[in-house]
Chain A
Amino acid sequence: MTTTTTQIEIDRDKGDFQYPEQHKYDAGTGLSEKTIDYICDVKGEDDWIRSFRKRALKVFESKPMPTHWATKDLENIDFDKIRYYLADGQRASRSWEDVPDDVKETFERLGIPENERKFLAGVEAQFDSEAAYSNIKDAVAKDGVIFVGSTEGLLKHPDIFRKWFGKVIPTGDNKFSALNSAVFSGGSFIYVPPGVKVSHPLQAYFRINAENFGQFERTLIIADEGSEVTYMEGCTAPKFDTATLHSAVVELVAMPGAKIEYITVQNWASNVYNLVTKRALAHENSVVKWIDCNIGSRLTMKYPGVVLKGRKARGEVLSIALANDDQHQDTGAKMIHAADETTSNVISKSISVGEGRSTYRGQVHMPKHLKGCKNNTECDALLINSNSRTDTYPAITVRGDDNSVQHEASVSKVSAEQIFYMQQRGLSEGEAMSLSVNGFVNDLTRQFPMEYSVELKRLIELEMEGSVG
């Protein structure tokens, strides 16, 4: 039975390291118009982006913290102490040789072998706020797929990206989308031409490596008619003493008949505020699927949404959250039905360990004059220790003709009989618990790409270590 243990042994400290900071560009701490001018100058951005950012700054300053419904922990963010931009002055490099050694070492320690990446369709790895490495496999580029950083996307392909930039998530959507709009840097801009089916997932790994430094990625993915694309985002971050802020905006546009799958495994260090706005616009017959796993961070607030704008569009959110001591995973989903016969499905599973708190917030909206819309929502919560906590706050509005919604939620604990049975067969209580928790999320993880489900399984095992006792 000890073989089971060796399989799950992972050195947690591997993701827990830091390199000396050598940033050529650093906007200092605090946020003002000067910061924005600085960012624009460094990036060489067009004037329309500069005014877009400045307008966003005003919106950010005018909006109150959403603490009338969200956790008061948000008040602990000190916006004056955050660095809003820094980059090590590299333009996205094209070949592996150009990548600095210390960045390569980062990947090494993350356990991603160089060879493995060479097989991947495209790798966009982000080191701090500027893309440090970007490699699009020839085959993908030949098909006309554009896979660049946000800066490059807006500079070189404004005709494609400007049309949808900030349209799915307007600047004023919430305080943090406004903040992102003011100071965004990094992230991925992807365009998939009509009919192109990208066979390999596009991946981006990124890391935070500077104290008190917030990352503000901006991602925009446009899948043109009948195309298909899968995007993966995974992150680990070194641990720091003072809180860091991560506030991304991710916009997806699925044109008629297109398919987008967006996968996230979030494992920020436990001092990170992760306040993310993610939304997709689904046109006729398109399918958008968000797969969202939240393991790390101090506070995550993230509710991936799909605006089902075209007839027969489909939106899906599969979400797994794991909250350990001092963590609050406030996640959920939004399904805004805006056309006939649109369907949506939300499956959320959360696990609260120790004093961890997980929250599900959902919104399902079916306005009048719509026909034949369907939504199914299931959220299950598992509580491990007696001081663990879970909340569920769905909001469902239904009008119209032949629309139906069902929502179910349950809260349970690991069954004592199950644990007893496994212990009888020689597993330790911790191993039994970890097996049981993996069983709880298994029907979801099975739907993930293989490498992510393996990674997730390991992460859960790691988090479950020492939870019993």
Chain B
Amino acid sequence: MKTESQSVTAFKETFNHHIEDLDTTPGWWRSMKREAFDRFLTTPMPKRKDESWRFASLSNLSFAEFAYGKPPSITNAQELVEKSRILEHQSGSFTFADNQTIDAEKASFELQKKGVIWTSLREAISRNGELLKDYFMKQEANLGSEKFSLLHTSFVENGALLYIPKGVEVEYPFVSYNWITGQNAAVFPHTLVIAEEFAKVSLVEAHFSTTEDVGALSCGVTHLFAGVGAKIDYTLLQNYNEETLGFQINSNIAGKDATVKTVSVNVGCRNYRSETHGQIKGAGAHVEMLSLAVADKDQEIDQRTLQTHSAPHATSDLLFKNALKDNAKTIFSGLIKVDDGAQQTDAYQTNRNLLLSKTAEANSLPGLEIEANDVKCSHGATTSQIEEEEIFYMLARGIPKEKAQELVVYGFFEEILERIEDEKLKEFARSVIQTKFSSK
């Protein structure tokens, strides 16, 4: 008990230092953070019996030992900026290393003239306060990570803000690169996208580590707001090193006739918890939630999803595919919730797990809660191995078994990868997956 209160006192001190460093930021920003931190302290840690943490290993979630203070200066900034060039064409980019902006490519003058805002969170706090007051952390975390969401609000200091005014369509994606470099660093990637009526935009978020074996914490939040008829295309590529503890709490709101597509490619982290909430608030909206994960060694990838249908005539489609090697463990827990007014809903949820070792463990909790009767809803979950017949053709042609299995896995993921629009990004995602198989 005594040690616990000591650690709380120490953590309070850490937070106070963090706030003191922000003395140039507006008062509302600091008081919002203080409030979040107070709630963080009183919110309990996830417990073994919590349904939203079922099957998860809670012993690895300790976040206290990380370095929350100011990071040492980034020595290899230029190298990181060079590495942060995945796409051929982009409308703008940010490169962050341990929460610090090390590179920024602004939106074109033409886009700025149309009213597009592409700015770092740090700048937005003083320049775009009104926008942040309306949209910053306004989508509640309700899939189990409330405490980590509050931790994020308490310590977040940078990130990317993208605002697209009514009717503006942007051709190339905006990109936000987030690097972890320091020992025991704690990073809080934040992405906020607001697309007004009939706006169209895409954004890519990438999470990388510079080292192979240095532990770190990443606690990220991404919120997308798609107004009437707006289109948002979002891709997250997570390839932290396998010592990282990661939380990614994503949520999107789709207004009337809006289209939101989210694709996640998860490869890294020791323990990774991802939460994705698709909130359908307008009639006729269409939301796609796609994800692929390759887990190996002792990795644990814990995915929780929620599709909330509050408006009629909307569709949502979820597909989560996981391949597991070695002693890896994955959890997929999804829920489709259809409110009583949401008639003519079409909602689908599919989870496919491919076990590539005898000791890997795949957990699947696909759920439905339906309160409207005129709906088409279904979910499917399968877990299986690669069947001998599937690779027989390749074996017969002299392809070694390991290679043949690898090719089957690549094929397994193509269904997700082909939904990534940008060709370069698609290629990059493929290569990231392939490193998981060549690293042996």
Contact = CB atoms under 8 A, between A and B. Distances in A.
A394 B366 contact: yes
Given A69-B51, A406-B382, A393 B374 contact: no
Nearest to A358: B370
Contacts of B358: 368-369, 399-401
Contact of A405 (B365, B375, B383): B383
A393 B35 CA distance: 35
Interface in B318-362: 340, 343, 353, 355, 358-362
A407 interface: yes
A381 B370 contact: yes
A413 B370 CA distance: 11
Contacts of B384: 403-406
Interface stretch (A30-38, A243-251, A312-320, A382-390): A382-390
A398 B359 CA distance: 10
Given A398-B353, A399-B358, A406-B381, A391 B363 contact: no
Nearest to B362: A398
Contacts of B366: 392, 394, 407, 409
A60 B91 CA distance: 64
Interface residues of A, number: 36
B380 A406 contact: yes
Contact of A411 (B343, B353, B378): B378
A398 B375 contact: no
A135 B282 CA distance: 64
B211 interface: no
B143 to A, nearest CB: 15
A443 B306 CA distance: 32
Nearest to A66: B49
A399 B379 contact: no
Nearest to B353: A398
Contact of B373 (A68, A386, A400, A409): A386
A408 interface: yes
B377 interface: yes
Interface in B256-315: none
A391 B372 contact: no
**Interface secondary structure of A, over-half rule:** strand
Chain B: interface residue count, which band? 35 or more
Interface string B50-94: 110011000000000000000000000000000000000000000
B368 A399 contact: no
A404 B352 CA distance: 11
A383 B375 contact: yes
A310 B378 CA distance: 34
Contacts of B362: 396-399
B367 interface: yes
A68 B361 contact: no
A410 interface: yes
A411 B377 contact: yes
Interface in B232-248: none
B369 interface: yes
Contacts of B340: 386-387
B378 A410 contact: yes
Nearest to B384: A404
A410 B377 contact: yes
A404 B370 CA distance: 28
A6 interface: no
A393 B51 CA distance: 11
A77 interface: no
Nearest to B338: A411
Contact of B361 (A383, A399, A406, A407): A399
B364 A386 contact: no
A86 to B, nearest CB: 36
Contacts of A68: 49-51
Contacts of B376: 410-412
Given A69-B51, A411-B370, A413-B373, A397 B380 contact: no
A110 interface: no
B383 A409 contact: no
B380 A409 contact: yes
Contact of A389 (B343, B361, B371): B371
Contact of A384 (B371, B373, B381): B373
A383 B376 CA distance: 11
A141 interface: no
Contacts of B381: 394, 396, 405-408
A92 B340 CA distance: 51
A197 B380 CA distance: 39
Interface string A361-395: 00000001100000000000101111111111111
B370 A389 contact: yes
A393 B365 contact: yes
B385 to A, nearest CB: 5
Given A392-B379, A394-B366, A368 B373 contact: no
A409 B54 contact: no
A413 B378 contact: no
Contacts of A383: 370, 372-373, 375
Contact of A398 (B51, B361, B368, B372): B361
Contacts of A389: 369-371
Contacts of A465: none
Contacts of A368: 358-359, 361
Given A386-B374, A398-B355, A391 B380 contact: no
Given A394-B365, A396-B364, A405-B364, 13 more contacts: A68-B49, A68-B50, A383-B375, A387-B373, A398-B353, A398-B355, A398-B361, A399-B358, A403-B383, A404-B385, A405-B383, A409-B368, A409-B378
17 contacts: A368-B358, A369-B358, A381-B370, A389-B369, A389-B371, A398-B353, A398-B355, A399-B358, A399-B359, A400-B358, A404-B383, A406-B380, A406-B384, A407-B364, A408-B378, A412-B375, A413-B374
In the A-B complex, the 10 residue pairs with the closest CB atoms: A383-B373, A404-B384, A410-B378, A392-B368, A398-B383, A411-B377, A396-B364, A407-B381, A401-B358, A399-B361
Interface of A: 68-69, 368-369, 381, 383-413
